[in-house]
A and B are shown apart, each in its own frame.
Chain A
Amino acid sequence: MCLAIPARVIRLLDEDRALVDVGGVHNEISLALVENVAVDDYVIVHVGYAIARLDADEADRTLALFAQMAGQHEERSGEIH
């Protein structure tokens, strides 16, 4: 299943690249496929490339879903161990 977490753009870099934040983890990605991205925008990243820009509401709803999923995963891991 092709899950993809929204990443927040924290800095624009040279050559259509950007630094993004996902839950405190920073990664450098390419913005070459998505136009007009600004700092604080949320993007969907797939194998190192931003493939879509999300509006703030969509990003919030998506992050809430992933947080729930992460919570479920932790609960299940707790049950196992």
Chain B
Amino acid sequence: MNIATAHGIEGTIRIRVSADSAGITAVRVESSRRTNACHILEGRPFEEALQAMPLLFSVCGVAQAGAAVAACEQARGIAAGARERARRRILVGAEMVQEHAGQLLMDWPGLFLAAPRQIEDLVAVRRHVSGLRHALGDRIQLSVRECAPLDLTGADQQLSGLEAALARSIFGMPAAAWLRIRDYAMLQEWWRRTPTTAAHTLQAVADGGLADLGRSGVGNLPTIAAGALCEILDGAQAERFSACPTWNGETWETGPLARQTWRQLVSELRRRHGNGLMTRLVARLTELAVLSRRMRRYLRVMRGGGAGWIVSGDEDASAVQSGTGIVETARGRLVHRVRLRNGVVERYRIVAPTEWNFHPDGPLVCAIRALPAAGAAELRRHVAMLVMALDPCVAHEIIVEPALAEDT
């Protein structure tokens, strides 16, 4: 086995920026990510492909498994019941909490405050996420007929522990109370009074004149009609779309900002700072607060009586079956599209959120083009903030070059 060849298979994103005294002159994003890695699933029975999914894509393995199962269920003409859907949403939500908390506790301190990473706080969050997942059966699978007994009381306790950990290390108060912050004045009051890295970060962004950093005209990824999406992913341009997605001829942003823009606080920040750094950071914080409330709501659904665990529906017996699974992950919208022939995966396509946000003409590039003139070190720091705000799912490298032609 030549696993040495596979080393580096995760890929990286390289961001090359050049600028002169007047500002940015060129930006180039180069991705070595394997957007066609899902081809490895083709030729396998779909049950085997589903088992492989979380092994291959282990960074957001729950969300990947969720999208794959949803795609295969649609292809097979079956659907999960309400309580199973609630269980899956908690599992994906817990993974999102872990990813968002990871950024807030590991990346924000160093980048904005020259402070050490809050590893112990993140370990506490991860411990409760792990406990919650374990209590709820841990994995998302196609058939839940033989689902292991679930520990809803244990899940409730772990969720309470998670809420306490987030309150202690991030919000300085229960997340539900933080969500009562509805305007800029209340937000300012919060960051002045709260001794957490998240609060200090927002204050540093405001005081440092960074709130508008990277403000651009890129819009939020809209819902793409199912028929149109299927047509693209079943067509000859699917590979191109997976690597460099556009919609209606434009690039779009996906992730916390796109999902939380409608909330009152984020909406006010959007009016003040557009999609600049402050709005993106507050959107992530808002989503983190919303997630624990949402998981508790889904836990109540799971506690409800009646049917709902068992996958229901009439299985489609036709030879060729297609399905789409869409899951909102920490980094944005994830789409899986599968075509089965007699139960074997004939074609598999994935569109991951990083491809939208790190598109060669997408949100990151537009944000960097909008940066003010700065020295090389300051420019690198500003680019790092924007990369972090859009959060790629792989390692990245920032190269500030003295000269870079736009078209070379």
Contact = CB atoms under 8 A, between A and B. Distances in A.
Interface of A: 1-5, 22-25, 32-33, 35, 44, 46-48, 51-52, 58, 61-74
A44 B394 CA distance: 13
A24 B122 contact: no
A1 B37 contact: yes
Interface in B60-93: 60, 64
B193 interface: no
Contacts of A68: 40
Given A71-B2, A74-B2, A2 B60 contact: yes
A32 B33 contact: no
A65 B64 contact: no
Contact of B6 (A48, A52, A61, A66): A66
User: Which of A35, A58, A66, A72 is packed against the most chain B CB atoms within 10 Å?
Assistant: A66
Contacts of B310: none
Given A2-B59, A4-B59, A58-B55, A22 B3 contact: yes
Interface stretch (B7-15, B256-264, B295-303, B374-382): B7-15
29 contacts: A1-B352, A2-B57, A2-B58, A2-B59, A2-B352, A3-B11, A3-B34, A3-B37, A4-B58, A5-B9, A23-B4, A25-B4, A32-B119, A33-B123, A44-B58, A46-B59, A48-B395, A52-B58, A62-B56, A63-B3, A64-B1, A65-B56, A66-B9, A67-B2, A67-B3, A67-B6, A69-B9, A70-B4, A73-B9
Contacts of A48: 395
Contacts of B52: 61, 65
User: Which of A3, A5, A44 is packed against the most chain B CB atoms within 10 Å?
Assistant: A3
B337 interface: no
A14 to B, nearest CB: 15
B399 to A, nearest CB: 17
Interface residues of B, number: 34
Interface string B357-374: 000000000000000000
B5 interface: yes
B277 to A, nearest CB: 21
A63 B1 contact: yes
B159 interface: no
Contact of B10 (A5, A24, A65, A74): A5
A5 B3 CA distance: 9
A58 to B, nearest CB: 7
A23 B59 contact: no
Q: Which 7 A-B pairs have the closest CB atoms?
A: A2-B59, A67-B1, A23-B3, A23-B4, A70-B5, A70-B6, A2-B393
A47 B393 CA distance: 9
A65 to B, nearest CB: 6
B127 to A, nearest CB: 8
Contacts of B56: 3, 62, 65-66
A25 B9 CA distance: 13
A28 B11 CA distance: 18
Contacts of B33: 1
Contact of A72 (B40, B57, B123): B40
Nearest to B393: A2
A55 B39 CA distance: 25
B40 A65 contact: yes
A72 B39 contact: yes
A33 B59 CA distance: 14
Contact of B123 (A5, A22, A32, A65): A32
A23 B35 CA distance: 22
A64 B395 CA distance: 23
Interface in B1-57: 1-7, 9-11, 33-35, 37-40, 52, 55-57
Contacts of A62: 55-56, 58
Interface in B104-123: 119, 122-123
A32 B116 CA distance: 13
Contacts of A58: 55
B238 to A, nearest CB: 14
Given A1-B350, A69-B34, 20 more contacts: A1-B35, A1-B393, A2-B57, A2-B60, A3-B56, A4-B10, A5-B6, A5-B9, A5-B10, A32-B119, A33-B122, A35-B123, A44-B59, A58-B55, A66-B56, A67-B2, A67-B3, A69-B6, A70-B6, A73-B9
